Chain A
Amino acid sequence: MNKIFEIPLYPYTRHPDQDASSPVRRKVVIVGAGPVGLAAAIDLAQQGIEAVILDENDRVSFGSRAICFAKRTLEISDRLGCGDPLVEKGVQWNIGKVFFDERKVYDFNLLPEGGHRRPAFINLQQYYFEEYLVNRLRALESEGAPVSIRGGSKVTSIEDRGDHVSLVVKTPEGAYTLEADWLIACDGAASPARQILGLDFVGRVFEDNFLIADVVMDAEFPTERWFWFDPPFNKGQSALLHKQPDGVWRIDLQLGWNIDKEKEKKPENVIPRLKAMLGEEVNFELEWVSIYTFQCRRMERFRHGRVLFAGDSAHQVSPFGARGANSGLQDTDNLVWKLKLVIDGSAPASLLDTYDVERVYGADENILNSSRSTDFITPKSEQSRIFRDAVLDLSEHYAFARPLVNSGRLSMPCTYDTSPLNTTDALPDAPARARPGSPCPDAPVGSGFLLDQLGKGFTLLVLNTDAPAAVSVGEVEARTLSIAATKELAERYLGEATSAVYLIRPDQHVAARWGRYDETAVKSALARACGKEL
């Protein structure tokens, strides 16, 4: 049985850079071939910017790890050219059930609003997510895009030299020096890059342990998210059951703080716990077992000169709410277009400081939501447990209490309300969901969808009015996408307004909006969105 995570996908091979007489300079070097590093490399390659990924391993991650991929991540993946395989393989679900003690207290249906290309989220093992991104990267590479992965390549030294970064890369055949104009560290929560640079990573530790077991079973359970508070099979703790592709089920059992991790991980201790939950008669096979503790923390800053941190290396949250990998993808989505403009000389390097501002804002939102979920799931005092249980008891009888039940607030894309790249909303009566800073809501357009029609650069979305085909400020251009508003477009972008002009960034966030086209206003907003007025 060869699982994808057992196959070397990018084995070490000797690279000419190792034999160069003087260190070779690359445009962008990315440390880490996880979901975030791969997304960054694909995004850069699509923009024609050289990207080299260094990873100390040679294969996708072991075990399912991140399994919930949110709608925004799928939309970003569409932009990266690999949304379809993710959605085809992934499990879609809408129903969530909440149990308390021995009874079901309520269920919810996350059935998303119609008129979007992608569902609210899918469940998919992280190793598949990574595999499909590697496939996309390989396809770009074979088309001649300047992108590559070097496996068996561990970064052991990082020095920011002001106009470049100098790295030492250790390989099975010895170490070599490599230079990069820019370095993106996507090397996970334990980030060796962060440690090499001696940077902070502070926050709150949660005193709790969770057992993750991935089991393969032909079970009768429906494709739903089941969450238990204080169930009979795990008294005083919580439990989660979630379906993945290939008949794999994610089971997550809270264990408490004072436990012997090595002992609890042994199959002879895991199996009775699972039997208590699933029933004695259910046959299953353990695919992966792990025990995790978690912290909610972030770096003070994500940009350090020419070194940029993205994903778990920069911020870490509890798994409740699926805000880890999903927020990491939003990081690179935010970073790559800015890096391109800076590399091309079309925007000042200070534009990269807005990556820091916007994604620190996003990280704080995720940490807040994640901490609150954790405080609900694991009450920190007797009184908070009394309130928690009161909410659960009430939720069985009254609708008002259900929004208070917090078994994880599922990842939503961040709206950059306070971003210095936004221009003051000139259409404040139009829907708030499309205000400056928002990720563009999708909508059907013709036989396709709006987000697929937004360009690689800036877009001027023109609804029910006129504008020139393109607007430029210096070398930066915004191309017009003119559409007669359909019902959904009107609901999501016009509201009471009869016409609108939206300036949309390359990461599909709204930078500015007006009722009609005004050249001076649009040019000023475009300049601002490129960081020219910072």
Chain B
Amino acid sequence: MANLILTPNLPRADDTYADLLAAHEGLSKAASDALNARLILILMNHVGDQAIIREALKAAKLENESA
């Protein structure tokens, strides 16, 4: 059974979130979209589990019961 983590899991959540915003700073919309796409692909590969990724796609669509 896949087990997607949807509870807090980032040890330094504010720092990591700030890193994400900083990476996008000063980028055009197109460059930001491209960065996001590359990031998603890199993270997907790191996860390396089709079932988890499918759960994550479902969760991202906000179609399940709310947390």
Contact = CB atoms under 8 A, between A and B. Distances in A.
B33 A394 contact: no
Interface stretch (A382-390, A432-440, A468-476): A382-390
B34 A401 contact: no
A386 B35 CA distance: 9
B contact face: mostly helix, strand, loop, or mixed: helix
A386 B45 CA distance: 17
Interface string A383-426: 00011011101100010110010000000000000000000000
Interface residues of B, number: 8
A401 B40 CA distance: 12
B45 A400 contact: yes
Contact of A393 (B33, B38, B40): B38
A387 B42 CA distance: 12
B45 A390 contact: no
B21 interface: no
A386 B34 contact: yes
A400 B42 CA distance: 8
B4 interface: no
B41 A404 contact: yes
A400 B41 CA distance: 9
Contacts of A394: 38, 41-42
A390 B34 CA distance: 6
B40 to A, nearest CB: 8
Contacts of B38: 390, 393-394
Contacts of A391: 41
B37 interface: yes
B45 to A, nearest CB: 5
Contacts of B37: 386-387, 389-390
B62 to A, nearest CB: 18
Contacts of B40: 387, 390
B18 to A, nearest CB: 23
A389 B41 contact: no
Interface in A453-503: none
B29 to A, nearest CB: 11
Interface in B12-61: 33-34, 37-38, 40-42, 45
A389 B35 CA distance: 11
A103 B33 CA distance: 21
B41 A386 contact: no
Contacts of A400: 42, 45
Nearest to A400: B45
Nearest to A393: B38
Contacts of A389: 34, 37
B45 A393 contact: no
A401 B33 contact: no
A398 B44 CA distance: 14
A389 B33 CA distance: 11
B30 to A, nearest CB: 8
A39 to B, nearest CB: 38
A393 B34 contact: yes
B61 to A, nearest CB: 14
A21 B34 CA distance: 75
Interface string A14-43: 000000000000000000000000000000
Nearest to A401: B41
Contacts of A387: 37, 40-41
A384 to B, nearest CB: 10
Nearest to B37: A390
Nearest to A403: B45
B58 to A, nearest CB: 18
B27 to A, nearest CB: 13
Contacts of A401: 41, 45
A487 to B, nearest CB: 32
A386 B39 CA distance: 12
A392 to B, nearest CB: 10
A386 B33 contact: yes
Contacts of B41: 387, 390-391, 394, 401, 404
| Among A387, A398, A401, A404: residue with most chain B CB under 10 A | A387
Nearest to B38: A390
A514 B34 CA distance: 52
A357 B38 CA distance: 41
Interface string A277-300: 000000000000000000000000
B48 to A, nearest CB: 9
20 contacts: A386-B33, A386-B34, A386-B37, A387-B37, A387-B40, A387-B41, A389-B34, A389-B37, A390-B34, A390-B37, A390-B40, A390-B41, A391-B41, A393-B38, A394-B42, A398-B42, A400-B42, A401-B41, A401-B45, A404-B41
Closest 4 CB pairs of A and B: A390-B37, A400-B45, A390-B38, A386-B37
Interface of B: 33-34, 37-38, 40-42, 45
Given A387-B41, A398-B42, 14 more contacts: A386-B34, A386-B37, A387-B37, A390-B37, A390-B40, A390-B41, A393-B38, A394-B38, A394-B41, A394-B42, A400-B42, A401-B41, A401-B45, A404-B41
